[in-house]
């Protein structure tokens, strides 16, 4: 119900198309066929409306009317001006804009079959096992280098993870449990699955930060994944990585267009109080 009300609120804010076929109205607010189709995700999903009779059509439209009446009443009571509700609306709008804009900007990212085939050829073995690993996650290279030096000096990996890692796994000594391909970002996986049991990686940079990984053990996946499953998973991973790269490039470009400042020391002051 909560999400349906939000959808109805959005309908109030959207202008009605000039030649739209109005299906229902409450005062000045209208529900058009185009808006209804948009609510179910587009023309390709119109079958999910499941309207086979006039009675079913009337019930669907009256459901919208009832939601619209509640939204009108809420706004008449000034609920949209309450700080906690105004904040929730703002966050919902921000999320919609984020997803819509990034989705549009990455829509042209493609992954060729040849690229996936070559990747599977090189990494097939990693899709047939799962690994048990620990890691230390740090926010910048300097801290990662300091942690690496302490490990090289003989300090315990799990004790150091508890002390310095910013990942929630720090409480468990950086233990990530058993992992399969497709459960972490691509750069982390390639580094982790390249290790031998007992081996520790160098510093690995991903969108999450800077990692140092220790592989504890491996075991085969039972039942073994099929060729089709491996190909699909590899393709998904490569596409996600390509989209992430496109997003990071976009963010770097956008940042040059604005005056950006961050004050981490101020945040630390508040957190430490």
Q: H/E/C letters for each residue in 4-68?
A: HHHHHHHHHHCCCCCCCCEEEEECCEEEEHHHHHHHCCCHHHHHHHCCCCHHHHHHHHHHHHHHH
Q: Report yes or no on whether pTM surpasses 0.85.
A: no
- Identify the pLDDT of residue 20: 61
DSSP class of residue 195?
S
Domains of the chain: 2-99 (no CATH), 131-219 (3.10.50.40)
Give the CA dihedral 41, 43, 45, 46, nearest 10 degrees: 120
Cβ count near 7 (within 10 Å): 15
Please report, in tens digits, the pLDDT of each residue of the chain (273 residues total): 334 444 444 444 444 444 468 999 999 999 999 999 888 888 888 888 888 899 999 999 999 999 999 999 999 999 999 999 999 999 999 999 999 999 999 999 999 999 999 999 999 999 999 999 999 999 999 999 999 999 999 999 999 999 999 999 999 999 999 999 999 999 999 999 999 999 999 999 999 999 999 999 999 999 999 999 999 999 999 999 999 999 999 999 999 999 999 998 999 899 888
């Amino acid at each position: 119900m909560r999400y349906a009300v939000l959808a109805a609120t959005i309908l109030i804010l959207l202008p009605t198309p000039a030649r739209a076929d109005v299906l229902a109205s409450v005062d000045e607010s209208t529900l058009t066929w185009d808006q209804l189709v948009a609510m179910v995700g587009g023309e390709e999903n119109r079958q999910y409306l499941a309207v086979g009779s006039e009675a079913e059509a009337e019930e669907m439209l009256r459901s919208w009317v009832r939601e619209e009446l509640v939204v009108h009443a809420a706004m008449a009571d000034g609920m949209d001006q309450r700080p906690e509700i105004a904040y929730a609306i703002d966050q919902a709008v921000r999320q919609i804009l984020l997803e819509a804009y990034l989705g549009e900007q990455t829509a042209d990212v493609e992954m060729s079959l040849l690229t996936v085939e070559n990747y599977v050829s090189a990494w097939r073995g990693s899709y047939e096992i799962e690994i048990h690993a620990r890691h230390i996650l740090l926010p910048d290279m300097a801290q990662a280098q300091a942690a690496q030096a302490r490990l090289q000096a003989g300090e315990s990996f799990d004790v150091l993870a508890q002390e310095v890692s910013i990942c929630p796994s720090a409480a468990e000594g950086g233990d990530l449990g058993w992992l399969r391909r497709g459960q972490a970002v691509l750069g982390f996986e390639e580094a982790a699955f390249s290790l031998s049991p007992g081996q520790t990686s160098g510093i690995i940079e991903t969108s999450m930060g800077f990692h140092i990984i220790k592989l504890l053990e491996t075991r085969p996946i039972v039942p073994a994944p099929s060729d089709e499953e491996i190909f699909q998973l590899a393709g998904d991973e490569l596409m996600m990585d390509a989209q992430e790269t496109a997003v990071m490039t976009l963010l770097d470009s956008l940042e040059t267009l604005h005056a950006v400042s961050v004050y981490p020391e101020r945040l630390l002051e508040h957190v430490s109080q």
